[in-house]
Amino acid sequence: MTARIPDSLERLSHDDLIGAARDLIHEVTRLGAENEKLVGALGRLRIEHQAVKDELARLKRLPPRPPHRPSGMDKATDAKGLEGGGGERGGRSTQRRGSQLDKLTIGATVVVSAQAPAGSRHKGYEDIVVQDLSLTPTATRYRRERWETPDGETIVAELDPGIVGGYGPHLHRLVLALHFSGQVACERIVALLDGMGVVISKRQVVRLLTAKLETFRAEDAAVLKAGLGGAYVTVDGAGARHAGKSGYTTQFGSSNFTAFRTGPSKSRLAFLSRLCGGASLWVGRLLRNRLAINDAALDYMKGRDLPQIVIDKFAAHEARIFASSGEWERHVQALGLNELKVLPDPVLIASEAALWGAIHHQGLLQDTVIVSDDAGLPGLDPGIRVGVHGLCWVHAERLVHKLIPVNDKQRNAVEVAKRMIWWFYRCLKDYKRAPSPEQAEVLRSRFDRIFKRGRTGYATLDSLLKRLHRHKDELLRVLERPEIPLNSRRMRSIRPDQRLGKRHPRLRHQEKNLRRNRQRKGSRRARRHAGPRQDLHEIEIVVLRLRRRPTGNPRTQNPRPRNPRQARPRLSQPKLAREFAPVTPTGARIRRPFTGRPIGPSLPTAR
């Protein structure tokens, strides 16, 4: 039996083994740190690569990438989910919804008789409620009285103001609902009404969509004004490009109303203008808004760190109410604010303060809480941070949910933070059902323990928790006002158009005009570049004046080509044949390059 060869470590002394172990530990630590850096770099490259792919898809007009999947915090912390009643099967609730007949009003009762044989006994009735819809066109002749006064003036009776171009208010309301709420095109509306028996054209449908909308605008303004006087209002916004221009839509809503305002800017000045009732903006200046300098406006100036000298000028001036933007601009010039080249801009802050004063002058947002998502933390949207403000918890938790950890330690830290936020969110829901001052103090201390922790091992998570802790007052606004919602997500279910943030497609007639203009400009550029073989063949055709295709194999001519193109210009100069034709012996046959097949009869020698 051969002796075992001793390992090299057995020859080392005790001190040498300790030194080797230390070197190995140091090398493993270094490799671990380097591996963590590489994994982090790989994660950043993946994010950058996805951004490039999204940009490429946008330029190619491909469908966008689906949005980030929500974490499900709101559903997971519901009271039904905690009690365990009404589970889900295949994404659907297993609870019985109950009867919906109490919401209906029975308009008629029909007794259906049955043919029963002799000797049968009547056992009552079996009821069934049937809902139906009847769309029947009606034509009404209005005979307007005409009177002639002694002065010779003719008086004609006025029609109902809801009649537009020979069509009644009910049809007008149906066309508006189909187009704006149902996103139905004008051609389909014409086809639908024509099938119902209504005689109407596309031009008349367009007239119904654009004429006499003052009543609807006044109603919309009244709804927004009434909603801004409630306990709370949720604010959301989205942007899109249409016809080469950027536009931004702001949504105001609550459990009772929803209103939309669209403009070219989403600044604080634009937001205050929409709150005040005006939707028209022009390069940051106001067009149709009343402005007021009152105590609310002066407090706003102090909160925005406007110099006290400027505030004293506004307070000492007699004019406090301005009916138009022209009066306001003249007032600002008289105070000499246009000549001040300081930061922050005194004219901008003064205009914002005047708008805020006009909002309070109208009695709006006196005790109303503005709940917004505050998307993009950090870098708060300056347009929504006005008045009594509350933040959406779903969007705040989404910032933690969207983090991309690169190792197990960071994943564990993110998971622990999410669980603690979910637990606290559930406690806030319980507080809304039974508010009390003692429970409010307990929740404030819990908030500090969650968002004011030490290092978690994930630097990005630590900085994010610190940012959220800086907004403690906005996130815990529900402790002072339990009637406000914890998030602004529930208001999205009443939007008429869920595709608010998507890119608007081009209209069909615009596409046709683009294709027609492209054809007028000239033929399109060739998709493939000509190769050397094709170039040489074209030179043979031009120089030797050969036919493009032999007569024995004619091509069938299409009398109506789909894409007519301009004919290629031919060079018919007699000098080209003498200067560039190759010298060939008599009786020789020219062969096509790279093919070896003859292309014509024998040619004489060129002189």
Q: What is the secondary structure of 398-439 as a DSSP string?
A: HHHHT----SHHHHHHHHHHHHHHHHHHHHHHHHHHS--HHH
Domain shared by 541 and 463, yes or no: no
DSSP-H helix ranges across 228-324:
268-276, 295-303, 308-316
pLDDT at 293: 83
**Mean pLDDT within 288-292:** 60
Let me know if residue 132 belongs to a domain.
no
Flag whether pLDDT at 447 surpasses 90. Answer: yes
pLDDT at 65: 66
What angle do helix axes 169-176 and 186-196 make, rounded to 10 degrees? 140
3-state secondary structure of 82: helix
- DSSP per-residue codes, 559-589: SS-SS--PPPPP---THHHHHHPPP--TT--
* Max avg pLDDT among 6-10, 223-227, 243-247, 575-579: 223-227
User: CA dist 565 to 281, 389, 460, 473, 518, Å?
Assistant: 47, 63, 59, 69, 12
What span, in angstroms and rounded, lies between the C-alpha atoms of 541 and 525?
Answer: 22
Residue type, 34: E
pLDDT at 85: 45
What angle do helix axes 437-451 and 459-470 make, rounded to 10 degrees? 150
Burial of 491 by CB count in 10 Å (0-12 exposed, 13-18 middle, 19+ buried)?
buried
555: Cα separation from own chain's centroid: 53
What's the pTM?
0.60
Nearest to 274 by CA among 236, 240, 302: 236
Domain shared by 539 and 461, yes or no: no
Flag whether pLDDT at 347 surpasses 70. Answer: yes
pLDDT at 439: 93
Q: Which domain holds residue 46?
A: 22-58
pLDDT tens for 238-276 read: 888 778 888 888 889 888 888 888 888 888 888 888 887
Let me know if residue 228 belongs to a domain.
no
Let me know if residue 416 belongs to a domain.
yes
- Of 13, 32, 58, the residue at which a domain comes to its end is 58
pLDDT at 14: 82
Percent of the chain whose pLDDT exceeds 90:
21
* Max avg pLDDT among 19-33, 330-344, 528-542, 556-570: 19-33
What's the pLDDT band for 491 if we cut at 50, 70, 90?
very low
What's the pLDDT band for 310 if we cut at 50, 70, 90?
confident
271: Cα separation from own chain's centroid: 17
Nearest to 237 by CA among 247, 228, 249, 246: 249
Let me know if residue 332 belongs to a domain.
no
Element (H, E) at 51: helix 14-59
- Of 41, 58, 75, the residue at which a domain comes to its end is 58
83: Cα separation from own chain's centroid: 36
Domain shared by 475 and 539, yes or no: no
Flag whether pLDDT at 204 surpasses 70. Answer: yes
Per the structure, how many domains does the chain have? 4
Task: Evaluate whether 39 touches 407 at the Cβ level (below 8 Å).
Answer: yes
Average pLDDT in the chain = 75
Flag whether pLDDT at 478 surpasses 90. Answer: yes
Let me know if residue 34 belongs to a domain.
yes
pLDDT at 94: 58
Let me know if residue 328 belongs to a domain.
no
Least confident of 26-40, 111-125, 350-364, 365-379: 365-379
Residues 6+ apart with CB under 8 A from 33: none
More confident residue, 209 or 287: 209
pLDDT at 375: 56
pLDDT at 68: 66
182: Cα separation from own chain's centroid: 18
Least confident of 297-311, 561-575, 576-590: 576-590
pLDDT at 95: 61
Flag whether pLDDT at 199 surpasses 90. Answer: yes
3-state secondary structure of 447: helix
pLDDT at 79: 62
Least confident of 9-18, 93-102, 310-319: 93-102
Angle at 285 between CA 279 and CA 287, to 5 degrees: 50
Task: Evaluate whether 392 touches 487 at the Cβ level (below 8 Å).
Answer: yes
Burial of 343 by CB count in 10 Å (0-12 exposed, 13-18 middle, 19+ buried)?
exposed
More confident residue, 97 or 275: 275
User: CA dist 550 to 252, 534, 544, Å?
Assistant: 74, 17, 14
pLDDT tens for 6-54 read: 466 777 788 888 888 899 999 998 998 888 888 878 878 888 888 888 8
CA atoms within 13 A on the CB side of 463: 5
Domain shared by 463 and 541, yes or no: no
Domain shared by 479 and 537, yes or no: no
What span, in angstroms and rounded, lies between the C-alpha atoms of 598 and 260?
Answer: 75
Least confident of 60-69, 299-308, 481-490, 579-588: 579-588
The sign of the CA dihedral 293, 294, 298, 301 is negative
DSSP-H helix ranges across 183-337:
186-196, 202-210, 214-227, 268-276, 295-303, 308-316, 325-335
Least confident of 9-13, 278-282, 358-362, 551-555: 278-282
